Amino acid sequence: MIKKETKVLVTGCGGMLGEAVYHEFKSICQLYPTDKDINEPWLEHLDITDFAAIKRKIITLKPDYVLHLAALTDMEYCEKNPEEAFLVNAKSPEYLAKLTAELGIPMAYISTAGVFNGEKEEYHDDEMASPLSVYGKSKYQGEHAVKTLNPQHFVFRAGWMVGGGPTKDKKFINKIMKQIQAGKTELAVIDDKLGSPSYTYDLAKIMRAVIDREKYGVYNSVCEGGGSRYEVAEIILQAHNLHDKISLKKVDSSYFKQDYFAPRPRSEKLVNTNLKSLGITIPRDWKVCLQEYMEMYDWKVPNLIDKSFQVA
């Protein structure tokens, strides 16, 4: 259980999820947030591919928990750089799992819905993995290593990540917001891929709740419900009262095949079976979380003239 004197080392704390974990954990324990990219004054440098540095840090600090958030998540980059993807997403967590197991330290690892092939409509926690992309394969190899090597493991599977705000959000939502900020009045959005968003601020709370219960295992950790990318874009427009000023054009994945060529599952929808078995009801409806996220930051949405008055 996490207490004031508990030492918690976090890798990759400068990213989308790291920002939420930092704010959730900073006041309840002795938190040691690290990242390769020092983008916050509260971060300490730590490169997870530098195994000697990792070992020195853990042996010196003697943390009570290690939360391993660091990962390469750009799917196209992973496809083009498979060796680096496996080093970061598979070998680094494998090394950490061995080291923490030897020292008797519980370890948390962030996995992904991308470990499944998407042939089913939705996936429970204990179903067979069959990833399609280099990203999915590297993340599943890391997940498998953690589960196999450290019996004191927490594996949290995230869906479509939502969080971090305009400066740290590298995913779909901020890409949509940047198009809106640029003044676009028509957005092409795919409707043939399904998923379950994971709200980083809720996910951080889930991690805390599971760790406090000391219930090791694998946990799908997504918002309730799910939908298509198109449905996510609809909620974004509604949240900013832009549904009558910006139109959405439904397209299939082939429309973006040059830019987004990594194979993606048709469905990445997850069901939080194991969380519910623990009585954890933190995950909220994804639409509620997305609305909250839109209200949390200043997205610098421009004033758009109603399209009915535009001159061709």
Percent of the chain with pLDDT over 70: 97
Domains and CATH numbers, the chain: 7-168+196-226+269-283 (3.40.50.720)
pLDDT digits (tens, 9 = 90+) for 244-256: 889 999 999 999 9
d(CA 147, CA 98) in angstroms, rounded, equals 11
Residue 61 has pLDDT above 60, yes or no: yes
∠ Cα 151 58 65 (to 5°)? 45
pLDDT (mean) for 273-290: 96
Give Cα separations from 127 to 115, 154, 264 (angstroms): 10, 17, 18
Residue 240 has pLDDT above 80, yes or no: yes
Q: Which residue has the tokens 């938190």?
A: 31
How high is the pLDDT of residue 268? 95
- pLDDT interval class at 303 (50, 70, 90): confident
Sheet holding 267-268, edge to edge: 227-228, 194-195, 267-268
Q: Which residue has the tokens 């298509």?
A: 228
**98-130 b/e with 16+ CB inside 10 Å = b?**
ebbbeeebbbbbbbbbbbbbbeeebbebeeebe
- pLDDT interval class at 21 (50, 70, 90): very high
Displacement of CA 11 from its chain's centroid (Å): 14
pLDDT (mean) for 221-226: 94
How high is the pLDDT of residue 304? 62
Residue 82 has pLDDT above 70, yes or no: yes
Closest to 209 (Cα-Cα) out of 134, 246, 154: 154
d(CA 18, CA 24) in angstroms, rounded, equals 10
CB-based contacts of 26, cutoff 8 Å, min separation 6: 42
- pLDDT interval class at 311 (50, 70, 90): very low
